[in-house]
Amino acid sequence: MTIRVQQADFDIGVELAALTQGNPGIGGVCCFTGLVRDLHPQADEQAGTVCALTLEHYPGMTERQLAAIEAEARARWPLEACLIIHRYGRMEPGENIVLVACASAHREAAFDACRFLMDWLKSKAPFWKLEETCRGTRWVASRHSDEEAARRWDQPAG
């Protein structure tokens, strides 16, 4: 059960190998990676191409909130291992921003927990994206659909 908030990039292969190493009870790992896109998320043609993203966060609160939601995921699903890495600082298109991986005996729990963590992270983890385009910089607006996605999990699945 690992949480890391860091500037440095991560190596997905190394991280996943460490996650499953020595636990032959793991039958499946679901992993999500978020990357910097060169297109503006609101599909606003005037915005132009994104040449970089700077991720700001709230040190202290970030780790605390990630630890709380990771504990929640472990309480809801039978997870064998869990990993959250979120980067901050300046990144260019194609670079990794976030990695969430959940390992379980069966795939259903791994998929559900991973998606739960990503939905939550998108709507509650204190990170903010500043976009650089050829026209200057601007703060990315939050997506309504991200809050809706997180609300899906307010009631445990039936």
Partner 1 sequence: MIKLLYFAWLRSKIGLAEEELALPPGISDVAGLIAHLQTRGAGYADALSNLAVVKVAVNQEYVPFSHPVAPGDEVALFPPVTGG
- Nearest 10 degrees: Cα torsion 70, 75, 77, 79: 60
CB of 107 to its own copies, least distance (A): 6
Termini Cα distance of the chain: 26
CB of 2 to partner 1, least distance (A): 17
Distance, CA of 118 to CA of 106 (rounded, Å): 19
Residues 126-145 that bind partner 1 (CB under 8 A): 126-130, 139-143
Which residues contact its own copies by CB under 8 A?
11-14, 16-17, 20-39, 41, 93-94, 105, 107-108, 110-111, 114-115, 118, 122, 149
Residues 84-113 that bind partner 1 (CB under 8 A): 86, 97-98, 107
Question: Phi and psi (nearest 5°) for 122?
Answer: -65, -30
Question: Toward partner 1, which CB reaches closer, 41 or 48?
Answer: 41
Distance, CA of 35 to CA of 143 (rounded, Å): 17
Q: Work out whether 43 is an interface residue with partner 1 (CB under 8 A).
A: no
Closest CA to 87 of 137, 12, 14: 12
Q: Work out whether 56 is an interface residue with partner 1 (CB under 8 A).
A: yes
Q: Which string of b and e fits 53-66 if b means at least 16 CB within 10 Å? A: bebebeeeebbebb
Q: What does 142 bind: its own copies, partner 1, none (CB cut-off 5 to 8 Å by kind)?
A: partner 1
Which residues of the shown chain bind partner 1 in the complex (CB under 8 A)?
Answer: 34, 55-58, 60-61, 64-65, 86, 97-98, 107, 118, 121-130, 139-143, 146-147
